[in-house]
Structure formats: C-alpha cells, structure tokens
Amino acid sequence: MDLFKLFACLGAAPALGVFATQAVSFVPPASSPLSTSANYVGINNGSLPIEQIVPGRVFDRFIQIWLENTDFSVANSTAEFRSLAERGILLSQYFALTHPSQPNYAATIAGSFFGIADDSVHDIPSNVSTMVDVLEHGGISWAAYMENLPADGFNGASFSSVNYVTPGAADYPFYMRKHNPPILFDSVLKNPSRLARVRNFNDFAVDATAGALPQWLFVTPNMVNDAHDTTIDFAANWLQFWLEPLLEDERFNNERTLILLTFDENESQNQNNNIFGLLLGGAVPSSMKGTVDTTYYTHYSAMSTVQSNWGLGCLGRGDTDPVMSNVYELVASATGFENNPVSGKKIPLTNASGATPGPLNPSPSLRTPWPAANSSAICAGGGPVIATPL
Ligand SMILES: *[C@@H]1O[C@H](CO)[C@@H](O)[C@H](O)[C@H]1NC(C)=O
Ligand SMILES: *[C@@H]1O[C@H](CO)[C@@H](O)[C@H](O)[C@H]1NC(C)=O
Ligand SMILES: *[C@@H]1O[C@H](CO)[C@@H](O)[C@H](O)[C@H]1NC(C)=O
Ligand SMILES: *[C@@H]1O[C@H](CO)[C@@H](O)[C@H](O)[C@H]1NC(C)=O
Ligand SMILES: *[C@@H]1O[C@H](CO)[C@@H](O)[C@H](O)[C@H]1NC(C)=O
Ligand SMILES: *[C@@H]1O[C@H](CO)[C@@H](O)[C@H](O)[C@H]1NC(C)=O
C-alpha cells in the first residue's frame, strides 16, 4: 500500500480538527514500531521489569487498541480493516456505551462512566476501584501506552508537540487526557508505582524490545493516528506502519496473545452506537480466522472477558451487567461462561449523551451520589467483587 498517498479530509464531521480544511497524508512518527522517536516526546526511563506470566484459559496477554469516532460500516468497508478481518474474528454487534469519547474510555476500565457526558477533566475519587485493582489482585501485570504522552503519569489535559505531520506548522495537540483511561482515576493518579505504568510510545518500544510488555495493555494512538482529527484512511496507514509489523513480532504477538482493535464510539449519534471490533492475534485459532461473531458486546465485554480468561474478581458494575457484559465467544466457550442472547430491539440504545444518571452527570437533576459496587454480583471469572481499590 502507498503509505504516503495524499488524500483530502472529506465531509463536515465534527471529529475533524484543525486538519479539516487541509489535505494531510500519513507520516510515520518513527522509523519502525519498535524504534524510539523524538516525535513521541517523553524520553524512555528504562523498561518495566520482566514479570511472571500468569497463564489464562485462552490467552496470556490482552492488548486493546482504540481508534476514534467511526461507524461500523465505515471501518468495515475500508481495505486495511477488511484485510485484518481476514486474520481475525469480527465482532459485528459490538456497541460503544455513550457519547462523547471520555465516558467510553472511563467505563472500559471502571464498568461505569458515572454519568460523564463531556470531555472535561474529571478526577474520579480514590475510593472507586477499576480493572487495575482487579488485575493487580490477580497478579496480572498491566500498562497503558499513550502516544505523545510527554512523561510517564503526566496529568495535563493535553500536550502539544512538534508537528511532524505538517512540518513548520505550530505545535500540535497530539495527546489528550480524555483518551487515557487510568489517569482519570485518583486510585492511579495518587499512586506512583501505578503512574509509572501510564507510559508513552518510547517506553512501548523499549518495553517490547526488552520482552517486558505486561499481560494487559491499553494502547491509545495520537490524535491523528487514531482518526480523531483525520480520516479512517489515515488510521489505516498507521495500522500498516505500527500494527502490521508487530503482528509478526513474537515480543508483541505470540500464540497466547489476544488483541482487540476497536473504536471508542460510532460517529453518527442519531443511530445506535455500533462500532467495529476485531479480535486478532495468535490466540485466534486458524479455523476461526475470517469469521464473524454476532453476539452482542459492549466495552464492558473487554472487562468480563479478561476476568473470565484469568479467573479474576470483578467490580460489580457494568462488568457484571446481565445484558451488557457478554464474554467474547472465543473465551466463553472455553470457560463455560453463558452469554445472554441479546439481539434486535433488545439491544440497548447507547447513542445518547448525558442521559445516564450519575455523580458526574452535568445536569443537576440527573446527578446521583457515588454508587456502591454490587457486592453480591457474580464475577465472570468466579473471583471476589473488588469494591474498593487495593
Ligand atoms: C463487512 O464487509 C464485508 C465485505 O464487504 C461484508 O461482506 C459484510 O457483510 C460486512 N459486515 C457487516 C456486518 O456488515
Ligand atoms: C522518568 O522518571 C522520573 C522519576 O520517576 C519521572 O519524574 C520522569 O517524569 C520520568 N520521565 C519520563 C519522560 O517519563
Ligand atoms: C439513537 O438511535 C436511535 C435509532 O437507532 C434513534 O431513534 C435515536 O433518535 C438516537 N438517539 C439519539 C439521542 O440520537
Ligand atoms: C451506527 O451504528 C448503527 C447500529 O446501531 C448502524 O445501524 C449505523 O449504520 C451506524 N451508523 C452509520 C452511519 O453507519
Ligand atoms: C467515595 O468517596 C466519595 C467522595 O469522594 C463519597 O461521596 C462516596 O460516598 C464514597 N463512596 C464509598 C462507597 O465509600
Ligand atoms: C447484584 O447482583 C446480584 C447477583 O447477580 C443480582 O441478583 C442483583 O440484582 C444485583 N443488584 C443490583 C442492585 O444490581
């Protein structure tokens, strides 16, 4: 494929940022996915330690890669995504939880977005547990890799750096806190050893090269590579640059790796929130490559699937919701988890913004106290409800 093909940013979609009126072509931020680069900003401080691998039922490593604001049909009709779908399991009934971006990122590790309906800075109180607690309780190592994060654990709302895409232009806000799940939670923000696991892409390069990638990874590309300020074709070019070579690299993807490539939300808010989700990696058996799984999933499914795979505890929030937390069939069929057959009109409408009550809902009439976790919830992994941070 021609990585440097010029294309125009089309349409009047709200996702388009300052590039809306100018043609931009993909520019690789580094010479290869495992090279460090000044474009990634934050220097590397040394790799994470190589930690003990806790074996799971279906996979030993789970890597989530989130792109931005794209309808299912748009991704599914883009050549690079079709090509990847031939190598994985397409989740055709995968739905985001709400709009805009930030609440989806918060919910995917907390099992709730607590009523958030904006992209403003929120500090979720230190008594709210997240997947970080569930993982650490089970001895599963984790890290979040944020492209263009200026320093590990950086807590600014955004960060602008040299515009390597349009040389000579002003510094560009490539990094956004709203797309960084762990940093939204004080249980991470106020804990230095956890903060050191909120890392940038120079750390990724060094960790992967050292064979030190943890067992649970969340990967957020920058605001151009994730399609937020650009187009699906720009993100497709980034996948060709970054993901394609890594799929062939044992330090990232081996026969015990499961990768979820997905989007935070659907672009067309007047329709329900169906997004493209694709399971890739060596843990997908050859016989299932190029297949479609039509089970209803949401972002909560990434939590329940991880819990089911490793026999972990849970949060007793959305991750145990009887409708919204189906476990990927690839894993459910191995662990005996019974999915709920939700389809058609029974699929909840999750395309509204601000309609869900919660402590961070902007509307006073929909604001509630901080909810307690459901301490009698049944965890997909059979472990305990982890109601407060470790
Ligand atoms: C995704 O695209 C393929 C190829 O065009 C098509 O056959 C398939 O029906 C699409 N999937 C869905 C669920 O629309
Ligand atoms: C390197 O580590 C130090 C000490 O933990 C920290 O203050 C600094 O922000 C780190 N630098 C980067 C670029 O992450
Ligand atoms: C959500 O989608 C449904 C149909 O899919 C539509 O009827 C409804 O108006 C949408 N809601 C919003 C808030 O756009
Ligand atoms: C957004 O998702 C809905 C599924 O609920 C889908 O019908 C619709 O096609 C998507 N929007 C667009 C414009 O593709
Ligand atoms: C958590 O802390 C908030 C205040 O930050 C408080 O309102 C809430 O009751 C606490 N929740 C629990 C379950 O202790
Ligand atoms: C808590 O979980 C239990 C067990 O699944 C369920 O029966 C109960 O309805 C849940 N409570 C709430 C408030 O959701």
pLDDT at residue 270 in the model: 81
pLDDT one-digit tens code per residue, 321-339? 999 999 999 999 999 999 9
- Determine whether the shortest distance from the Cβ of 368 to ligand 5 is under 6 A: no
- Provide mean pLDDT across the span 278-300: 98
Active site residue 229: yes
- Determine whether the shortest distance from the Cβ of 372 to ligand 5 is under 6 A: yes
227 pLDDT more than 90: yes
pLDDT one-digit tens code per residue, 2-19? 333 223 333 333 344 444
- Provide mean pLDDT across the span 296-303: 98
Beta strands in the chain (DSSP E): 61-67, 89-95, 142-146, 158-161, 172-176, 198-200, 216-220, 257-263, 274-280, 291-293, 297-298
Query: Which of the residues 229, 233, 264, 319 is marked catalytic?
Result: 229
pLDDT one-digit tens code per residue, 54-63? 999 999 999 9
pTM: 0.92
The ligand with the least distance to the CA atom of 155 is 2
- Provide mean pLDDT across the span 129-138: 98
Q: Please report the atom of ligand 1 found closest to the CA of residue 294.
A: 13
More confident residue, 266 or 282: 282
pLDDT one-digit tens code per residue, 343-355? 999 999 999 999 9
- For residue 45, how far is its CA from the centre of ligand 2 (angstroms)? 6
91 pLDDT more than 90: yes
Summarize the chain as % helix, strand, coil (round to 5).
25, 15, 60
What is the rounded average pLDDT for all residues in the chain? 94
- Determine whether the shortest distance from the Cβ of 156 to ligand 5 is under 6 A: no
45 pLDDT more than 90: no
- Domain residue ranges in the chain: 60-366
- Which of 7-21, 93-107, 178-192 bottoms out in mean pLDDT, i.e. has the lowest? 7-21
Q: Which residues contact 345 (CB under 8 A, 6 or more apart)?
A: none
pLDDT at residue 23 in the model: 65
More confident residue, 269 or 241: 241
22 pLDDT more than 90: no
Best mutation site among 73, 270, 296 for ligand 4 pocket (most ligand atoms within 8 Å of CB) = 73
Distance of CA 163 to the CA centre of its chain: 24
Q: Please report the atom of ligand 3 found closest to the CA of residue 352.
A: 13
CA dist., res. 24 & res. 20, Å (int): 9
- Determine whether the shortest distance from the Cβ of 42 to ligand 2 is under 6 A: yes
Q: Which residues contact 20 (CB under 8 A, 6 or more apart)?
A: 9
More confident residue, 126 or 9: 126
pLDDT at residue 2 in the model: 31
Name the residue at shortest CA distance from atom 6 of ligand 6.
377
- Provide mean pLDDT across the span 70-84: 97
- For residue 370, how far is its CA from the centre of ligand 5 (angstroms)? 6
Name the residue at shortest CA distance from atom 12 of ligand 6.
374
Per-residue pLDDT band for 126 (boundaries 50, 70, 90) equals: very high
Instruction: Tell me the percentage of the chain whose pLDDT exceeds 70.
Output: 94
Name the residue at shortest CA distance from atom 13 of ligand 3.
352
Q: For 292, list phi and psi in degrees, rounded to 5.
A: -120, 130
CATH superfamily of 60-366: Alkaline Phosphatase, subunit A (3.40.720.10)
